[in-house]
């Protein structure tokens, strides 16, 4: 899907590239030697992969064939939690064909992440279409003291992940303009913003569309082992909120200590653009939005803070298993839409209900590729569950990991590294997780690790290598932005500039996970690190 819904890796196509200096190849690498050959190899491998939707179609067919092979070979295991014998179910049969045909539509419409993403994106589309998100980012960056400018740019980049591709198309070029306007190298500003937007993709202080998306896939995978298991969209919130500041500080340090000295003084001829402050209408819109956000927050507090709040469980008063937690996606939609409309009324960018619906419609226009991807991904996930291959593989894999004797922390760090490596050749966050979750979540659940912990480790790896992955859908756009200031820049230029961010983010974020696990802290509301498989 577009990172309008999950936003770092799988846009329906990069936005139109800005003009590049005449005669400059759009991807002319500046680096040479072993590093350039490595980058070329990564690019060739990534380009050789089929479209993610095609990949899922092929995987679905592969599951059908493997199910028949596993059934013929009588590959079976004993479920360690229930003691039941688990046998493979062949789909290469008349009964299998009937089930595939009869449940194809249900697989698609019932795919857990589909509805959550669509609903959340409708509200965020209103906020983006009204101009709220763009104005808020500009205010945040332009009002920052110069000594905090780099930190604020990285921080704003992380926050921009709540909504669509606005960080890529607005903040990244704006950061370069701001750095140049204050006499600093524009590519350093661009790199800082790109690091926050893409390298810090999963960190945030607010829930965005990626949270319910990944939680839905994790829930589907967890139910292979524990039917009825629920993964809350806010399950990683505590960890990701803390990660926001870790990534912002790490990105600031890399920019100032490594990137700026390497780039040196800007010698280019790009003109300095004057930074236009917010207009009176935009400021009025932000005031309206602040009032709406305050009222909406007060409504949520009214329903959740009192012990008998109307958003708590009406029988037990519990907050973790309450209408508030189960309705988080609805609150994302309502909050974003309400604040977006308020901004639009104040800034006069919304003059009728048609403008509101236009914002929603525009956000839906970006999802054509995502819907195609989801159709095939849903079939693959359903087939994988029907055949029991996921559970059999999980039990076998768990036995192997037990034999290796890896502890919790080494295991999760290895999983972070695996996710980061796969991200170099397969940029789509949801496509990767749709493939990896049905394998690793059940496997780690059988070892006693919660799906929420596995998802958090995946999100770290999936984020840190974005900025050096040529497969990331906005990578070509970033090259084009860099070429505005360095005409001969190419893939090697961008990767060489961004590699320090990847390495430092990987170390810092992994250390945060290690500390988190060592302290036994919950990852989010009701989301613990470990679990014990249920027994009858």
State mean pLDDT over 475-481: 76
If one counts every other C-beta atom within 10 angstroms of the C-beta of residue 61, the result is 13
Confidence of residue 460 (pLDDT cuts 50, 70, 90): very high
pLDDT in tens, 70-90: 999 888 877 665 667 878 899
pLDDT of residue 35: 54
Q: Given a cut of 70, is residue 399 above it in pLDDT?
A: yes
pLDDT in tens, 360-383: 888 787 677 678 877 987 888 788
Nearest CA-CA partner of 346 in 388, 394, 292, 300: 292
Q: Look at 167 and 267; give whichever has higher pLDDT.
A: 267
Percent of the chain at pLDDT > 70 equals: 82
Q: Given a cut of 80, is residue 528 above it in pLDDT?
A: yes
In sequence order, which residues have a C-beta less than 8 Å from that of residue 405 and are 6 or more positions away? none
Residue spans of the domains in the chain: they are 34-519
pLDDT in tens, 252-299: 999 999 889 888 888 877 777 666 788 899 999 999 999 999 999 999
pLDDT of residue 264: 85
If one counts every other C-beta atom within 10 angstroms of the C-beta of residue 507, the result is 12
CA dihedral sign of residues 403, 406, 408, 413: negative
Lowest pLDDT segment from 25-39, 240-254, 456-470: 25-39
pLDDT of residue 394: 67
Tokens (6 digits) for 302: 């009214």
Chain-centroid distance, C-alpha 174: 22
State mean pLDDT over 220-247: 90
Q: Look at 252 and 384; give whichever has higher pLDDT.
A: 252
Q: Look at 209 and 17; give whichever has higher pLDDT.
A: 209
3-state DSSP call for residue 278? coil
pLDDT of residue 93: 92
State mean pLDDT over 339-364: 90
Asked if 465 and 166 count as a contact pair (C-beta separation under 8 A), the reply is no
Q: Given a cut of 50, is residue 10 above it in pLDDT?
A: no
Q: Dihedrals φ, ψ of 86, to 5°?
A: -105, 120
First to last CA, the chain: 40
State mean pLDDT over 436-461: 91
Q: Given a cut of 60, is residue 350 above it in pLDDT?
A: yes
Q: Given a cut of 90, is residue 188 above it in pLDDT?
A: yes
State mean pLDDT over 394-408: 74
Residue 277 C-beta-side C-alpha neighbours within 13 Å: 5
Q: Given a cut of 60, is residue 130 above it in pLDDT?
A: yes
pLDDT of residue 233: 85
pLDDT of residue 81: 55
Lowest pLDDT segment from 2-11, 143-152, 313-322, 470-479: 2-11
Lowest pLDDT segment from 159-173, 426-440, 495-509: 159-173
pLDDT of residue 236: 93
Q: Which contiguous run of DSSP H or E holds residue 368?
A: helix 368-386
Lowest pLDDT segment from 23-32, 153-162, 391-400, 465-474: 23-32
The predicted model scores a pTM of 0.69
Output the average pLDDT for the chain: 81
> Cα–Cα distance between 442 and 454 in angstroms, integer?
10
């Amino acid at each position: 899907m577009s990172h309008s819904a999950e936003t770092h890796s799988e846009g329906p196509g990069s936005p139109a590239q800005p003009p590049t200096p005449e005669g400059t190849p759009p991807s002319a690498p500046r680096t040479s030697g072993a590093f350039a050959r490595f980058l070329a190899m990564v690019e060739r491998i990534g380009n050789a992969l089929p479209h993610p939707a095609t990949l899922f179609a092929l995987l679905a067919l592969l599951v059908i064939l493997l199910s028949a092979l596993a059934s013929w070979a009588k590959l079976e295991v004993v479920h360690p939690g229930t003691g039941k014998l688990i046998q493979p179910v062949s789909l290469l049969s008349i009964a299998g064909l009937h089930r595939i045909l009869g449940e194809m539509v249900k697989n698609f419409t019932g795919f857990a992440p589909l509805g959550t993403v669509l609903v959340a994106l409708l509200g965020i589309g209103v906020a983006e279409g009204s101009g709220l998100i763009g104005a808020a980012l500009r205010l945040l960056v332009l009002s920052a003291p110069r000594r905090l400018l780099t930190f604020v740019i990285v921080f704003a980049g992380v926050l921009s992940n709540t909504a669509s591709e606005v960080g890529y198309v607005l903040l990244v070029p704006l950061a370069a303009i701001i750095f140049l306007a204050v006499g600093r190298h524009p590519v350093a500003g661009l790199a800082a913003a790109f690091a926050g937007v893409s390298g810090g993709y999963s960190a945030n202080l607010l829930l965005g569309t990626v949270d319910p998306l990944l939680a839905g896939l994790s829930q589907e995978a967890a139910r292979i082992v524990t039917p009825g298991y629920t993964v809350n969209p806010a399950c990683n919130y505590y960890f990701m909120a803390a990660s926001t500041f870790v990534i912002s500080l790490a990105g600031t340090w890399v920019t100032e200590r490594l990137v700026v000295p390497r780039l040196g003084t800007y010698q280019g001829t790009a003109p300095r653009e004057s930074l236009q402050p917010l207009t009176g209408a935009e400021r009025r819109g932000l005031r309206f939005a602040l009032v709406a956000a305050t009222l909406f927050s007060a409504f949520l507090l009214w329903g959740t803070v009192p012990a008998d709040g109307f958003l708590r469980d009406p029988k037990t008063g519990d907050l973790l298993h309450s209408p508030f937690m189960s309705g988080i996606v609805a609150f994302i939609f309502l909050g974003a839409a309400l604040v977006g409309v308020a901004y639009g009324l104040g800034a006069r960018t919304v003059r009728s209900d048609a403008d509101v619906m236009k914002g929603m419609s525009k956000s839906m226009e970006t999802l054509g590729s995502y819907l195609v991807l989801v159709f095939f991904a849903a079939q693959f996930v359903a087939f994988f569950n029907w055949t029991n291959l996921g559970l059999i593989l999980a039990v076998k894999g768990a036995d192997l990991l037990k034999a290796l004797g890896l502890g919790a922390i080494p295991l999760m760090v290895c999983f972070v590294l695996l996710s980061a490596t796969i991200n170099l050749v397969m940029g789509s966050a949801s496509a990767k997780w749709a493939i990896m979750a049905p394998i690793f979540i059940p496997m780690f659940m059988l070892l006693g690790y919660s799906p929420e912990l596995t998802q958090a480790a995946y999100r770290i790896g999936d984020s840190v290598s974005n900025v050096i992955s040529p497969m990331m859908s906005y990578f070509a756009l970033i090259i084009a932005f860099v070429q505005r200031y360095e005409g001969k820049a190419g893939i090697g230029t961008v990767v060489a500039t961004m590699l320090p961010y990847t390495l430092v983010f990987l170390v810092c974020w992994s250390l945060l996970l290690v500390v988190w696990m060592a302290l036994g802290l919950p990852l989010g509301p009701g989301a613990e690190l470990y679990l014990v498989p249920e027994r009858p």
